[in-house]
Structure 1
Amino acid sequence: MTSRRLFTAALVAALPFASVFGAQAVAQDLRDITFVQPSPSAINSFPVFVAIGEGFFEEEGLNVTVEAINGSGAVLQALSAGQAHFGRPGPGPLIAAKSRGVDAVHIYNVAARSNFGIAVQEGSDIQNIEGLRGKVIGTGTADGAEVGFARNVMTGAGMVEGTDFEFLTVGDGGPATAAFLNGEIDAYSASTADTAILNQRGMAVRDITPAEFGRFFGNGIATMADTIANDRELVEAWSRAFAKGHAFALDDANREAVLAHLAAGNPQEGEDKEFQSALFDAVRSKTVPTDDAEHLGWYPAAVWEEWQEALVAGGEIAAPLDDLGAIWTNEFAKIGNEAVGG
């Protein structure tokens, strides 16, 4: 586990890329809360930035600071070390962390539809997952959600890491583009945002992920089990504000305000308005609940089971968890939806 000193240093190093709110004067009775996200993108965490911009967190008595760090593993380390109250890790890393004793819990299914895919260059001869046998798949981080997703897909095709394919951590954006151009990687396990950025930067890619993996939800909001047990009012307040931000952003009537909040959260993303708008549409579409969902943020138990089976098959965890149900809950998403009249 990363020590407090090392983790603090990592946060300081990330600050040039972090979206930090709360610099303005706030009422003395607001409680300071830290949210950690696995990348600098405001669009990927859009309900948080909208809830900040619209004052939904402030209505709940919260002053939220957003810190960007590198990947789901770092997010879970931050939560475990008490450096943050809430974060947005992927389900695969969460299950793996629980197997190591990290008692984190997913409380809101943000990416209800898979926000990851395995992409190849547009002109590649590779047409399907079987074409990746003996190939190298690039990833943005060594232990992020995109790694677990890709391993899940490859395991489903009967391939074993280290024997039938390799992962190579190359970073995202420019480094990923360079890895393709240099022939270091044959494919890239990417989020919806990563794919859009590659295409926007002139590296045309196409997704070859089998359609059946669309049911594997992606990153969601997590907190520690101790926080739920000992600070339930905080978790309920966060959930109400977050759900309001999510619902507000799903309404096209609020589009202009939403994009302004996202530009405030990450000015670089807001420089190209056309790209910002297209990327937001792509990311937002992945947060729309599936047809069988009861409400925004709802988790399907069966897919948690499938995630765990994939991690066991891929060797990421040695055995199923004793209590898979302990690492996720729908109760706070329901509370949040009640706050928005859902």
Structure 2
Amino acid sequence: MLTRRTFTTLSAALLAAPLALGAGAVSAQELTKVTFVQPSPSAINSFNVFVAIGEGFFAEEGLDVTVESINGSGPVLQALSSGQAQFGRPGPGPVLAARGRDVDAVFIYNFAAKSNFGIVVPNDSAVQSPADLKGTVIGTGTADGAEVGFARNVLKGSGLEEGTDYTFLTVGDGGPATAAFSSGEMQAYSASTADAAILNQRGVAVRDITPGEYARFFGNGFITMGDTIRNNPELVEKFVRAIYRGHIFALDDANRDKVLAHMAAGNPQESEDPAFAAALFDAVRSKTIPVDMTNGYGYQPPEVWEEWQQVQLAAGELTAPLPDLTAAYTNEFTLKVNGSQN
């Protein structure tokens, strides 16, 4: 079931303001309704969306955005392919797997420019590297989310094969993951930045054993369907411009209080502990800053897409290379809105 959070993106000031594209005043009747689907209820993990809503960036583009929260990248892709949403934020691995099934999903903005996943173990565990996980059970938040493909890649790099050397166990996140560690049901966990922070907050101190070279594997980003790009490129450009503006706004420490307030409005429960929410935001935000800023925020390095495809092939998520890997992503809109391409 989709959990709906509808956000008002209009104010009297915005109604009187010109659109970013210079189309004149906007009214409620003229706004285009858009649905964005995220793979968890976290507003912090999609902070640029909630900033774009709260600051009126979507409204300035003529968009009225509804946010839906579901469980994992797989359902996000299903929602878009069935027409229930126009935009989503899944991981690159699930997107490639979906394209292998002829689902025309296209990455349009690289948000988690550095990997937002890691394999974590309890602080007192004897495990020091992925190779030490032979013969163990590794927990995941979802059965087919981006964290699963990421963990397979890391473990494959250490010579471990799923089903032979280790097994995955879907345990969920938050409380269930805490309980699975406490009961010994799992010995490691493929965690997002948020997952690790929550575990530490709940008294299960964990450390990340992921080798540093895996940071280049960017994580969840924004997608749409190929037919949306072909039939309504203006909509895609407007959406990307708004999330880019939200991203840049949130990176400015001068806007910190406003950003935290927008995320609290998006998910009040997540921000009940303001200190924890602020620390989690800092951790998530740091993952969205590219190592190489040559092409600006949101850019997707083609060479890393090649590596992601090799990961999917090695894991059996793809039975053969995609006929055209470049069809899985486009930098056109990102380069246009971030000023790298005029």
Say yes or no: TM over 0.5.
Answer: yes
Question: Deviation at 1:19?
Answer: 3.5
Q: CA deviation at 1:289?
A: 1.5
Shift in Å, 1:292 = 5.0
Q: Return the alpha-carbon distance in structure 2 between the equivalents of residues 245 and 336 of structure 1.
A: 12
Give the match for residue 5 of structure 1: none
Query: How is 1:241-280 mapped onto 2 (pairs within 5 angstroms)?
Result: 241-280=242-281
Task: Name the structure 2 match of 1:107.
Answer: 108
Alignment match of 2:6 (pick from 10, 20, 23): 20
Corresponding position of 1:120:
121
**Corresponding residue for residue 299 of structure 1:** 300
Map of 2:48 onto structure 1: 47
Q: Given that residues 288 and 296 in structure 1 are in contact (C-alpha distance below 8 angstroms), is that contact kept between their aligned partners in structure 2?
A: yes
Shift, 1:111, TM fit: 0.2
SS for the counterpart of 2:339 is helix
Q: 1:46-91 deviations in whole A, cap 9, x for unaligned?
A: 0000000000000000000000000000000000000000000000
1:170 equivalent to 2:156? Answer no
Give, in angstroms, the shift of residue 334 of structure 1.
1.3
**Number of the residue aligned with 2:338:** 337
- C-alpha distance in structure 2 between counterparts of 1:326 and 1:155, whole Å: 26
Q: 1:293 to 1:200 in 2, by over 3 A?
A: farther
Question: What amino acid is the match of 1:28?
Answer: Q
Deviations 1:96-154 (A, max 9, x none): 00000100000000000000000001111111111101111100000000000000101
In structure 2, do the counterparts of structure 1 residues 62 and 23 end up closer, same or farther at CA, with 3 Å as the change threshold? Answer: closer
Once the two structures are superposed, the pairs formed by residues 196-215 of structure 1 within 5 Å of their partners are 196-215=197-216
Q: Is the 8 A contact 2:123 2:206 kept in 1?
A: yes
Structure 2 counterpart SS, 1:268: helix
* Alpha-carbon distance between aligned partners in 2 of 1:182 and 1:20, rounded to the nearest angstrom: 38
Structure 1 distance, partners of 2:333, 2:143, is 30
Partner of 2:82: 81
CA deviation after TM superposition for structure 1 residue 319, in Å: 1.2
Per the TM alignment, residue 291 of structure 1 is displaced from its structure 2 partner at its CA by: 2.0
CA distance in 1, matches of 2:308, 2:329: 13
**2:238 alignment counterpart:** 237
How far apart are the structure 2 equivalents of 1:110 and 1:187? 26
Give distance in 1, aligned partners of 2:6 and 2:231.
27
Equivalent residues of 1:33, 1:63 under 8 A apart: yes
Query: Hey, what does 2:217 align to over in structure 1?
Result: 216
Q: Matches of 1:237 and 1:224 in 2, distance apart?
A: 15
Once the two structures are TM-superposed, the CA of residue 307 in structure 1 deviates from its matched residue by 0.6
Shift of 1:293: 4.1
Work out whether 1:149 is the aligned partner of 2:150.
yes
SS state of the match for residue 105, structure 1? Answer: strand
**2:189 paired residue number:** 188
- Residue in 1 that maps onto 2:35: 34
CA distance in 2, matches of 1:276, 1:214: 23
- Cα distance, 1:23 vs. partner? 8.9
State the partner residue of 1:6.
none
Kindly state the Cα deviation for residue 338 of structure 1 after the two structures are TM-superposed: 3.0
Deviation at 1:201, TM superposition (A): 0.9
Shift of 1:24: 7.6
Q: Which runs of 4+ in 1 moved over 2 A?
A: 22-26
**Alpha-carbon distance in 1 for matches of 2:7, 2:146:** 25
Structure 1 residues 236-271: Cα deviation after superposition (integer angstroms, max 9, x where no partner)? 110111110000001111001000000000001221
Q: How far apart, CA to CA, are the structure 2 residues paired with 1:185 and 1:240?
A: 42
Deviation at 1:164, TM superposition (A): 0.7
Asked if structure 2 preserves the Cα contact closer than 8 Å seen for 1:111 and 1:219, the reply is: yes
Contact 1:19 1:40 in 2 (8 A): no
TM-score (norm 1): 0.93
Q: Are the aligned partners of 1:242 and 1:336 in contact in 2 as well (CA < 8 Å)?
A: no
Aligned residues between the structures:
327
Q: Give the aligned partner of residue 283 of structure 1.
A: 284
SS of equivalent to 1:65: strand
- Offset at 1:182? 1.0
| Cα pair distance change 1:256/1:30, threshold 3 Å | same
For 1:261 and 1:188, locate their aligned partners in 2 and report how far apart those are by CA, in whole Å: 30
Q: Which runs of 5+ in 1 are unaligned?
A: 1-9
Q: What is the rounded CA distance, in whole Å, between the counterparts of 1:150 and 1:71 in structure 2?
A: 15
CA contact (8 A) 2:9 2:64 kept: no
2:131 aligns with: 130
Does the 8 Å contact 2:9/2:53 carry over to 1? no
Aligned to 2:67: 66
Q: CA RMSD in A?
A: 1.6
Q: Which amino acid aligns with 2:33?
A: D
Matched letter for residue 182 of structure 1: S
Contact (CA 8 Å) 2:10, 2:56: kept in 1 or not? no
